[in-house]
Structure 1
Amino acid sequence: MDTTRDRRPHLAIGLTASLDAYLDAAAECGGAVAPVLAVLRSTPPAGLLPLPGSGRTAERFRGLARIAAVDLTAARVIEPHVDAVTILAEADAPEPEQGTTWGVFAAEAPDTVLLAHRERDRWVLSGRKPWCSLAGRLTSALVTATTPEGARRMFAVSMGAPGVTVEPAHWVARGLADVVSGPVAFDSSPARPVGGDGWYLDRPGFRWGAIGVAACWWGGCLPVLDALIACTVKRPDDAILAARTGELYRRLEAGRLALEDAADRIDDDRVADAAVLAHAVRGTVADALVATLDAARDVLGPTALAFDEGLARRCADLELYVSQYHRGRDDASLAARLAGGELQW
């Protein structure tokens, strides 16, 4: 059962050959980040995927899904890189130079604080930032920090700048095992502001980036559906298998439709509340991902999960990747927004 094969023929509509190098790197990486970082360094940062709202948002989401369908580690490396390119473009900041690799470090934790302040004629960062994925292997990052006024603001930093220290991560994850996330310490490290106070979180593009992550989740599920379909061909009389396969297809099709509808709304500027749209799409895709993992466990069973390296790694990757979706909190936030306005139907 080959669950890691190249899915390019399945999702080829609307995409250009410019993505081929990334798909090739994904197919060859086997869960390792080095081949993916190498191809990011060798190509122009702005040439990978269209920007959200450019009239080609569906192409962007399909590109992310295609990469994830080949390898989720590759998607987990490429998605924040292209998100950083988008953020810089939206801020009218200088385009990243070729040869650089980017992350976006915006997570917060109660026991870590990163402060930004002006020191003579420049901004500097001091403190610690949690959950900095691949910090020790990237050249650059966009980092959120708290200004003296108490606002969150985004800054561009070089990971090799003075005072930047990548701390040990003690990463023990079985999924996305090579995408190490850990804290980074800053000690009066020089930084360049990107946007004003609160801009990063307030802009609609923050939500479009979140939907892009959901596109990666969705694409990552497709090889599992392939495996179920292959089983139904071999066991045509297994009604339970057929039912679970049909159910999973329905759930993934709902996710696909949600992603395509979101892309159309974004491009047509038909979004009354960006957060409502993002919460709805991410929740729909996350539900499909949970159903995918359930089907892998219940239908494909321990034989596949124990002896099919590609499938076992994919399921572990999916489980960790979707854990960044906080179902209860996000649904509560969605309900609060619905209570304050009209439904977008």
Structure 2
Amino acid sequence: MLALEAKNPLLSDIKSAIENIIFTGNQANGSMVSTNIISITDKLRHEILKILVSYSDKIPHPASGTEGNKENKSRTNSRTLIRWQILAYVASVDLTIAKWFESHLDALSILHELGYEQATQGLWAVWAAEGHPLSYQQGKISGSKAWCSGANIVDHGLMTYRDKDGQAQLLMVDMHQNGIKIDNSAWQAVGMQATDTATIHLDQVVASNVGSANAYLERVGFWHGAAGVAACWYGAAACLASYLISAYQQKPSDYKAMYLGQIGTALAVTQQYFHHIAELIDNEPTQSHELAIRQLRSNVEQVAREVIEVVGQALGAAPFCNNPHFARLSADLSVFIRQSHGAFDLQKIGELSSMLASESASTLTNNDTSNFINRQGNIWQL
């Protein structure tokens, strides 16, 4: 961690600020800080979120290049990776905070990408779930929007809707105005329970268009942002895995070592893939890298599920019952990874892989017999 923080001093500053809040808060509540058993209350969540928001303008947007000594690559760091490392750390603390903060940062990056450089201060969110009818006429929006996390605490929302021609539009809504009703009654989740996820009902609420039709979906940053969500999943999974390392170090056993080897391998491979994708995005910022990012998200989801199961097998029921941080992180992560779309994502990965194979094959001449295998679409050769 020290080497990581040396390359990411912003993460080090954020980590120190958050740990100070947690330490002070748990001391005041009489929690067992000395044994690393911490409890994140709603009060602490909002204090931590406030601190994080204050760092917003310092956190790089995706695809913003590298920083450091370009002549010595060992001393440079991908700015996209810096962003993901911060999100992963926040997720290791609490996934509710990560959910809010990732959405806030995503909103700011969307505005930046679409040319709105001077975003209004406050907490932002992106609400893009479809399925409820919305109408937008003469600068006012009416209807309902479901799955809006942080609905009661957000100052400004970026809200998607489909116009009469079926095109995707993006609206900017000030949440501090009349005509907005927030309904939390449908949110019955145990995991991610504290996210304040609600259905928002709007009645002639003032809103303004952001960007042109379909710009929100078609911009390359759509997929760069999707990878940031996966960084949250990964940060939580890595934190759960660290409990197994501690348990093994305190009381070594062969079976703990075996389980640790299993998930350690999966996490290490995924960690390196994050580094690769971050470098890819920063080196080719005008490309969406949709296939690579879909594969990354799918891989992280699988690893997260494996970590939850394997760490539970290794440690038994005790941390689920006695450790509030471990229990909450496990429950929250099980729900948060469902932001993946399962079989649909795998279907798209298959389709995009086939397209890539066809493109690779088309670059070869018909009489090039030495590349017969490549012409068959083997895009996974070393």
TM-score range, shorter chain: 0.7 to 0.9
Matched, 1:80 2:103: yes
Instruction: Say if 2:130 and 2:161, in contact at 8 Å, map to a contact too.
Output: no
Deviation string, structure 1 residues 282-314 (Cα, Å, up to 9, x no partner): 011111101110023211111121111211111
Matched, 1:106 2:116: no
- CA distance 1:26–1:253, shift in 2 (3 Å): farther
Which residue of the partner structure matches residue 373 of structure 2?
Answer: none
User: Secondary structure of 1:178's partner?
Assistant: helix
Taking structure 1 as the reference length, the TM-score comes to 0.88
Deviation string, structure 1 residues 56-79 (Cα, Å, up to 9, x no partner): 111111111111122222211211
Contiguous gaps of at least 5 residues in structure 2:
26-38, 66-78, 358-378
2:277 and 2:338 map into 1 onto residues whose CA distance is 22
Instruction: Say if 2:184 and 2:197, in contact at 8 Å, map to a contact too.
Output: no
User: Secondary structure of 1:59's partner?
Assistant: helix
More relative contact order, 1 or 2 (CA 8 Å, 6+ apart):
1
Question: Which residue identity is paired with 1:167?
Answer: D
Deviation string, structure 1 residues 317-336 (Cα, Å, up to 9, x no partner): 11111111122110011111
Which residue of the partner structure matches residue 4 of structure 1?
Answer: none
Instruction: Say if 1:50 and 1:59, in contact at 8 Å, map to a contact too.
Output: yes
1:243 and 1:189 map into 2 onto residues whose CA distance is 57
* 2:187 aligned to which of 171, 185, 191: 171
Which structure has the bigger radius of gyration?
2
Which residue of the partner structure matches residue 5 of structure 1?
Answer: none
Deviation string, structure 1 residues 153-202 (Cα, Å, up to 9, x no partner): 11111112332221233433222221021211122211121111111111
* 1:319 aligned to which of 304, 315, 334: 334
Shift of 1:222: 2.1
* 1:14 aligned to which of 7, 13, 37: 7
2:298 and 2:6 map into 1 onto residues whose CA distance is 25
1:189 and 1:271 map into 2 onto residues whose CA distance is 35
Point out the more displaced range, 164-173 or 224-233. 164-173
1:344 and 1:204 map into 2 onto residues whose CA distance is 24
- CA distance 1:152–1:271, shift in 2 (3 Å): closer
Deviation string, structure 1 residues 95-119 (Cα, Å, up to 9, x no partner): 2233x1011000113xx112223x1
Matched, 1:116 2:136: yes
Which residue of the partner structure matches residue 329 of structure 1?
Answer: 344
Which residue of the partner structure matches residue 219 of structure 2?
Answer: 203
Contiguous gaps of at least 5 residues in structure 1:
1-7
2:89 and 2:49 map into 1 onto residues whose CA distance is 17
User: Secondary structure of 1:314's partner?
Assistant: helix
- CA distance 1:168–1:299, shift in 2 (3 Å): same
Question: Which residue identity is paired with 2:135?
Answer: L
* 2:274 aligned to which of 259, 264, 272: 259
- Aligned-residue Cα RMSD (Å) equals 2.2
- CA distance 1:307–1:268, shift in 2 (3 Å): same
Instruction: Say if 2:87 and 2:102, in contact at 8 Å, map to a contact too.
Output: yes
2:48 and 2:125 map into 1 onto residues whose CA distance is 13
Instruction: Say if 2:127 and 2:157, in contact at 8 Å, map to a contact too.
Output: yes
Instruction: Say if 1:143 and 1:155, in contact at 8 Å, map to a contact too.
Output: yes
* 2:63 aligned to which of 39, 43, 53: 53
Matched, 1:247 2:242: no
2:270 and 2:202 map into 1 onto residues whose CA distance is 40
Question: Which residue identity is paired with 2:102?
Answer: E
Shift of 1:24: 4.9
Paired residues, what number? 328
User: Secondary structure of 2:303's partner?
Assistant: helix
2:46 and 2:108 map into 1 onto residues whose CA distance is 20
Taking structure 2 as the reference length, the TM-score comes to 0.80
